[in-house]
Every structure is written in C-alpha cells, then in structure tokens.
Structure 1
Amino acid sequence: MHALQYELTLPADYDMGIVRRRVARVGHLLDDWDGLGFKTYLLRERGVHGSPVNQYAPFYLWHTMAGMNRFLWGGAFQGLVDDFGRPEARQWSGLAYEEGSAAGSPAAFAVRRHEPVPDGAALAGLMDEAVRETGQVAREDGAVLAAAAVDTRHWELVHFSLWEHDTPKAEGDVFEVLHMSAPGRGLLPRGRQW
C-alpha cells in the first residue's frame, strides 16, 4: 500500500466553485482505475472547519505501484498540471489500513494529520502505535476508514481518516470530500502492512 497527496493552495478570494465544477466534470475518470485503492477529492475552504486556506488536496491509497505510476506518468496527472501547474506530490509507505465502523456509508469529510518522527525514537514502537491508532480511529462512530503511512525521507507520519458526518473524532486538518473513486478499496490489505 502506498499513499499519495498533493495540495493546491489557492488565493483567499479564489472561487472554490471552479474546483467543485472541475471535480464534478472529471471525478469519475478514476472510478475504475486499475491499481487504485481509492482517491478522495478533498477541499478546504478558508474559514470553514478552522481552515486558514482555500485548498484542493486529493488523497490516494494505491494497492499497486504500477497503478500509481500509470496515473502519474501515463497522462492522467497531466490534466491537473495543465490546469494548476505541477504540485509537489508527497508519497508515503503504508503502515496500516482499516475499514471503519461506518464502512458502508459515503464519506463526507476527511481528516489528515502530519506527525514528525522524532530523532532517536524507537521506530518499531512508534510504528506499532500508528497501527494501534489507525484501528482505534476506525472503530469510532461515523468512521468510514482509517489509514497511516510514513515518509522515510522527511521522517513524517500521516494519519488519514474518512467520516460520514462533519464531526469527525480524529484530530487534524478537516476536508470536505467532493467525490471518491474507490475501484480497488476492497483490495487494500487490512491491518498492519509488514
């Protein structure tokens, strides 16, 4: 399992309806993408749920590297680059994935939290804690799914969860889910990834 996210931070006075219309027009294009666990088309609006910015920030979980590479290098990603410029595409190695207590419900909101891996930390214990937290979040009322992954270049954990309601029981940046493509969600390995 591999996580990918890019963030397009937009001007404070940007018409976020442009992003909403774009997702409505192209969101379905990944609904059957081979190798994709899921893609959530995420939006934050300045002043909503404490967001300091307007931002479009899709988040992906891939169950194959070939699927992700086909997306990035095969032309699909180029459409976003043509419209907004080439963003930094962050990648993390998967640590844990769990379906949530509300797994059958549509996702309305997402929460994403970055956490540095401290120098000198016992890596095995810290990664085990991230796995435990993923399971705990997934068991919360309204949780659709939860995942954790790590970037070993910057030594950073990312915790990600989807929720059926606007009162998620996880800490982090809150995003509205505009669309979710999930052709291989059932193929994502559950639990600890090693």
Structure 2
Amino acid sequence: MGKTKRSGIDVSAILFYPRNEIPERLSIRDLDGLSLERPLSGYITGISGFQRVQSLMHAREYANKKRLEMFVVDMLVNFQKPIYPKILPPEELPNHDVLSLFRASKSLIAEIAAHWKAWVAEDEGVDALKQYKWLKPEDFVARRTDLLPRLLALPEFQHINVVTYPAKVEFHQLPMTATSFKVDYAVQPNVIAAASVKFHPEIEVTI
C-alpha cells in the first residue's frame, strides 16, 4: 500500500538559546525561526528542501562555536491550494497560495526583480543596483530577504500563504533554502499539521 501524499511542506525552524535558559515549552507565536541576516518580523521562518540536513550541520557548528543550545522545531505546514507542478508562470500565480522562487518562471522572476530594484533604489540609492544580479534570486532575494513582506503585501501576491526562497543566514556564508509564513497564518486551525522539537521530545510545542 502506497503512502498518502501530504498537502504540506516540511519546515524546520532553528532557535538558539543560552545553555542555562532551556524552555519547558514553545509556542508557535514565539518562534523566531531561522536566523536570517535580515529577519522578517511577523513571520515564522525555517529551512526546507533537500538542504535541511546540511543546513542543520552548519547550525550545529555555529551553536557549538557560540556556546549556545540549538533547538529545531520540525513542522508540517499545510497549504490551501495545490502546488503548481511545473515552473510557475505569472498567469498561474492567482491559482496557488505557495510560491517557490526555485520553481518560478523567468518572467515571474523578472516581475519580482522589478519590484526589488525599486525598493533597493529607495533604500540604498540608484548606484547600489549595479551591485546585484537581477536574474538570480539567490543573489538579490537572498541579500534583501527583508523585502519579502513588501512583495507579499502587493495585490497580486496578497493571497500567498507560504513562500520558499534563498536566504542568507547568520550561521553560514552560503544562502540556504528558507520557507516563511505569517504567524497569523500559522495559528489558524489545521495549518500546522504537526510540530515537535527534534532531540528534545520533552519540550511541548503549542499552537
């Protein structure tokens, strides 16, 4: 009998605590998520995809170096609409609530890059634009992850609940595969199908 396909994305949020401040329980609302160079306020962020094991190794090395305790909250995050099975074009965006910049068409990346350019020019000045590689999200998105909330606030992106993208993190020099979703989305019924703390089953996770 085959496995039932789950309509969710596996996300691992990484938290670092001082070794003498180990919590007894964690709330979904308390998750700061992945240690991004440019954190996203109001969002839960974690690593996802095929890089998860490698990313956790880098995070462990970082925790040991900083003498911190590392906690990994594994979550299965549900979505409302089916994932587009191919490379997502702009015209299909309204039909899906999950956006992966690793599976976005060149035309959709170009639309996103146009918004990024305007915001970077506003924040850093027009001269800064030549320092970015605008065809590669692993450059312009990873370096300015803080602009994601502005993208998701646009009318054509407001329905997106879950976004996967390349991000620069504090614990490694190379971009990692990150997935983010709003805290307000996470606490809705049946969004977090499962949540547990890896290696620390005694710590309760409440939603």
TM exceeding 0.5: no
Larger fraction in helix: 2
TM-score (norm 2): 0.27
Q: Which has the larger radius of gyration?
A: 2
TM-score (norm 1): 0.29
